[in-house]
Amino acid sequence: MKHVLMVLSLLMVVFPVSAQRQSAGSETTVEIGAFTVALTDDWALADEDFEALYAVDEEFEPVVLAGTDGLEAILVDGAVFTDIAADATAEEALLAALLAVYEVEIEADDLETAEIDGVDAVFWSYEDADSVEDAVISGEVYWVTVDGASLFIDVYAEESVFADSAEAVDALLVGVQLGEAEAVETEAVACFVSTETARTATVRVGPGTNRTSLLFLNVGTDYPVTGRFVAENETVWYQLDKQVVDPNTSAAELWVAQSDVNETGDCDLVGEASAPPIRPIVPSAPADGSTVDGSTAQPGTVPQNGQWVITFADRGVASCIGTGSIDYEARQALGGQMSTPASPLTVAQGGASFDYDGFTFNLVSPGNYFGSININRSVFMIRVNVVNTGFMTGEAVIDVPTVFSRCSATIGITIARQ
């Protein structure tokens, strides 16, 4: 047992007492970790250091108190018990602490509970033979939790003394209060996100894969994070500084999934941001059931899964503020790429939507779908009509700047299964 081991001087490890003493009127206080222990006249800081064979870690610096009639106490801040889980119960914590300090393993049924001046405590009573003084030592080891912080207290004395010292033990425990720990100021490092792979970090108008996608983050660029949101499915989304990502966007907010980016800085400390409301963009379908190119969709027609290619018309019409409509060369927005590479199309929810190359299109009326894609850093809003399971027609709308104003260009498209 521990008090027998304490006399084995050749195996002892001596720990310096780091407690500070200060007077508070007629009362003496001892500081240990997060705690301030107010001592009554029956207690004082012991002159000799506590010696034990076992140590928790290098920060294990107990405080030893001497009471009247030979009573002694050992106090340890519970924060030094690094092997105790943060969500451990008081019973679990005391069992782990006994094993860590004294290598004493007992059953939970051997523990008792007490409430001392409104403070919950768990304790274990023991007896031990002192091989030096040929006496029986009685003691109680407490685990006390005050305002979320914990204190390990071992109170012991010769059996005859300890039996008459209940009031003194209570006085010691009542004096345990959580002290005001010195604040350690640390400067948080700003959070940035980046990507190393093109066309993988999708920027959306809100947190969630159900939000409209606008563009991809550039490879190798650090983007500042301004907010953080945790969705119901526990996925984390970062709100980005739109002035850095795309200052010309008409979107109110820009978001990217944590899983799509690399993080630097203290991203866990970024302030929580609220998710903007979902405002679905649902264009009205023609009343006669016809499509944008005049063909008639068969009700319920759904595209077939496979590899599909979008082909754009060479020219379109742009409606501009203040100047009317102008002829628009689609090649300007597409960067000379008049068709997309063959990309996978997957139908979901029985035809209620389909995914094309990572972009979602939703059914807005029988045979008509609406969605958006990103090509050459430009966002195209697309509405298509399913002509048959392997062919769709439609139009793509894009905002384009001109010398005089901003314009909205409409370009005819076909989408074909390969």
Q: Tell me, what's the pLDDT at 378?
A: 75
Among 65-69, 108-112, 177-181, 196-200, top mean pLDDT goes to 108-112
- For residue 255, the 8-state DSSP code is E
E strand segments, 246-388: 254-257, 262-264, 306-312, 315-320, 324-329, 343-348, 353-356, 359-365, 368-375, 378-388
Mean pLDDT value across residues 358-374: 86
- When pLDDT is cut at 50, 70 and 90, the band that residue 284 belongs to is very low
pTM (2 d.p.): 0.40
**What is the pLDDT at residue 236?**
93
Over residues 135-139, the mean pLDDT reads 82
What is the average per-residue pLDDT within 21-49? 67
Does the pLDDT at position 343 exceed 50?
Answer: yes
Q: Average the pLDDT over each of 21-30, 223-232, 274-283 and give the range with the smallest value.
A: 21-30
* Fold designation for 306-417: Lipocalin (2.40.128)
* CA 22 to centroid of chain Cα atoms: 41
Architecture of domain 2-178 in this structure: 3-Layer(aba) Sandwich (3.40)
Do the beta carbons of residue 155 and residue 138 sit within 8 Å? Answer: no
What confidence tier does 152 reach under pLDDT thresholds 50, 70, 90? Answer: confident
The region, left, alpha or beta by phi > 0 then psi within -120 to 50, assigned to residue 209 is: alpha
- Amino acid at site 361: F
Cβ neighbours of 61 (radius 10 Å) = 18
Mean pLDDT for the stretch of residues 168-180: 68
Q: What's the full length of the chain, in residues?
A: 418
DSSP bridge partners of 347: 354
Q: Which residue has the higher pLDDT, 337 or 144?
A: 144
Structure tokens at 349: 């929810």
User: DSSP character for 165?
Assistant: -
pLDDT of residue 111: 92
Residue 173 CB coordination number (10 Å): 22
What is the structure's pLDDT at 192? 94
Domain ranges of the chain: 2-178, 192-269, 306-417
How does pLDDT run across 243-276, given as a tens digit for each residue?
Answer: 888 887 767 789 999 999 999 988 988 888 887 7
Per DSSP, the three-state class of 334 is helix
DSSP 8-class letter at 187 = P
Instruction: Compute the average pLDDT of residues 44-51.
Output: 68
CATH number of 192-269: 2.30.30
19-28, 31-40, 140-149, 273-282: range with lowest mean pLDDT: 19-28
